[in-house]
Structure 1
Amino acid sequence: MEKESLFTGIEHIGIKALDLEKAVSFYQEVLGFKYLRRIKPGQVQLVFLELGGTVIELVEVIESYRFEDGVVNHLAIQVSDIFKAIEHLKDQQVEMDSFEPMPIGEGRYNFFFRGPSGERLELYQV
């Protein structure tokens, strides 16, 4: 019997947007992405768009956080239990950006950590 994985799929890819409205228009009108939702869980707005089953998250750029992690900001991995997944990462001595998952509304949580080359990764639980 196979063990059920905590990591269930790619949730979204985060992309920094210098002009959020221009980026939303480009992805929708030029590339045909479908609008999913817009949220503001902190200082910046986030817009989620989907094309062919792949979701991107456009991350509004504010000057103090311009490109600290590049234009492609992060890869979000969907998890079935974010708390167990964080414990798993701790057991593997993975570099963490924070200590606890952040509630982002509607029963969703996220948590940022680093891959072996310093790449920014996110756990995302719906």
Structure 2
Amino acid sequence: MIKGLYETHIEVSDLENAVSFYTEVLGLKFAHRDETRQIVFLWIGEGKEFMLGLWEQKENLQPRHFAFTSSKEDILNYSVKFLEERALKPYNFLKDGTVQPMVFAWMPALAIYFNDPDGNQLEFIAVLEGEGKPELGVLSYEEWMKHI
């Protein structure tokens, strides 16, 4: 019955600023503005694969977390540069002061994080081939490669 997650919604403090961030900075595509409410829908991916809803909330903003699917190659070779070129500060799961993507060994998956202007925690993630190794915890990609 369930084949995936189609959409998610987050709160933003300034709808126009958020739309600019997600479309101009990250490259999502405008889908629809609901004129009866302070909400904009954006397409993620090609062919209406996924959707992000941005809801303007002026008070009591509750930041959320979600991840964008990416490729291992893009995360390893381009993600940090992509973020830094857009004045975004990448960080890894360990928040150890480095911008080195990390592997969640239990999945396994490779990830790097950054925040939107409202403090929503965003992530680029790529599920890696092979079996998970939960006993390894969270480690660098280079360390992960030594264990597979």
Larger RCO of the pair (alpha carbons < 8 Å, separation 6+): 1
Q: Which has the higher strand share?
A: 1
How would you bin the TM-score normalised by the shorter chain?
Answer: 0.3 to 0.5
TM-score (norm 1): 0.43
Structure number with larger C-alpha Rg: 2
